[in-house]
A and B are shown apart, each in its own frame.
Chain A
Amino acid sequence: MKTRQSGIFVEQRSRNAVNLSEEVAKIRGGEVVVVDIAKLTDDEQTLVFGDILRTIYALYAESDETEIGDTIPEKVIIFVDELNKYAPPRESASPIIEQVLDIAERGRSLGVVLFGAEQFRSAVHPRVVGNCATHVFGRTGSTELSDAAYRMLDADVRMSLTRLEKGEMLLAHSPFRQPIKIRFPRPAYKQEGVP
């Protein structure tokens, strides 16, 4: 029987390897934890991402108020690239979609915030998109913009998305009546006058 795995599954963890969920649960305020999944297979990436979501969600859902801010941070931000891979807009539920939906729909009240980045907003589960408080759009093609996921934007704004320059983005956030254009500063080494 053939298997395809990167080596992450071991019969017994050596002293040099830690249990990921135990390690993630040790997060403290102001700390950044980076979990590398780049060289894992798709199934393994899903396991690791789901494990992190489940661990963080349980950390907050099962803790009492005195622990929050003391032994665990007041808020945790989970940033994931290619969110569409884990929460595609398919109708049938899966454990990973359920996990992402738990965070998207109930995480905010617990202090767990999910930042997702993806090429196409239309490729993300509608309940995840619907629960986003802040949306940031980059330059987008008109075919993608014709999807229902962009219905929240006026026709004029949608058109302007097709003409954004490199480094320009459109930020939609409820305190602002209209989306606003933001610009990423050029990297310091490319700015004029910077030694």
Chain B
Amino acid sequence: MRYLLPWGKHSDRDGKPNSFSIPNQNWRMYAYSLQDTYDKLDLLMSQIPDPHDTIGSLIGEIREGLGGVQHGNPSGKWANVQQHGITFSTASLWLRTGNRSKSEMFEPFQWGVFVASCDAS
């Protein structure tokens, strides 16, 4: 039996996973760096209703903005992804409209549809 337990906010300090109970042996902690996750962002946003398939375009845009993705080694940080316009919470997901310089490829109606879907969820 092998246990994989999630890394938590305090794991750096106390070395303990974010779990209700910790087995005596055979356990390791797992975490997601952006390098591990940049090609799985679609899964992270799976719970968001997306009837017009807007999120796929958004994710493509985010990945392009990270740089280095072509070589499998994105250079950005999680903060860069967030600043690009998305917070990772379905309830509070919203689009940042203040800085669209990197997102001109999207038609305004697409943004509108996306925001409406998120508001409805």
Complex Cα distance, B20 from A160, in Å, reads 38
Residues of B within 8 A of A143 (CB): none
* In the assembled complex, B92 has its CB within 8 A of some CB on chain A: yes
Please determine whether B7 and A10 come into contact, CB atoms closer than 8 angstroms.
yes
Please determine whether A47 and B29 come into contact, CB atoms closer than 8 angstroms.
no
Q: Mark A84-97, 1 if CB is under 8 A from B, else 0.
A: 00100010101111
Residues of A within 8 A of B19 (CB): 36, 38-39
Complex Cα distance, B34 from A13, in Å, reads 10
Residues of A within 8 A of B49 (CB): 90, 92
Q: Mark B87-105, 1 if CB is under 8 A from A, else 0.
A: 1111110001000000000
* In the assembled complex, A109 has its CB within 8 A of some CB on chain B: no
Determine, out of A16-24, A67-75, A181-189, the stretch whose residues face the partner at the interface. A16-24
With both beta carbons as reference points, the residue of chain B lying nearest to A14 in the complex is identified as B12
Please determine whether B43 and A18 come into contact, CB atoms closer than 8 angstroms.
no
Most A C-beta atoms less than 10 A away, residue of B37, B46, B88: B46
* In the assembled complex, B71 has its CB within 8 A of some CB on chain A: no
Q: How many residues of chain B are within 8 Å of chain A by beta carbon?
A: 47
Residues of A within 8 A of B50 (CB): 92, 94
* In the assembled complex, A99 has its CB within 8 A of some CB on chain B: yes
B59 to chain A, nearest CB (A): 9
Query: Which of B6, B33, B78, B96 sits near A6, CB closer than 8 Å?
Result: B6
Complex Cα distance, B88 from A9, in Å, reads 11
* In the assembled complex, A82 has its CB within 8 A of some CB on chain B: no
* In the assembled complex, B30 has its CB within 8 A of some CB on chain A: yes
Q: Mark A43-56, 1 if CB is under 8 A from B, else 0.
A: 11011101100100
Query: Which of B11, B37, B40, B92 sits near A54, CB closer than 8 Å?
Result: B40
A43-B90, A92-B49 known; A11 vs B34 contact (CB < 8 Å) = yes
**25 A-B residue pairs with CB within 8 Å:** A3-B88, A4-B92, A6-B6, A6-B9, A7-B6, A10-B7, A11-B33, A11-B77, A16-B28, A17-B30, A18-B29, A18-B30, A19-B36, A24-B4, A31-B2, A32-B1, A32-B2, A36-B5, A38-B20, A39-B6, A39-B8, A47-B40, A92-B49, A95-B45, A96-B47
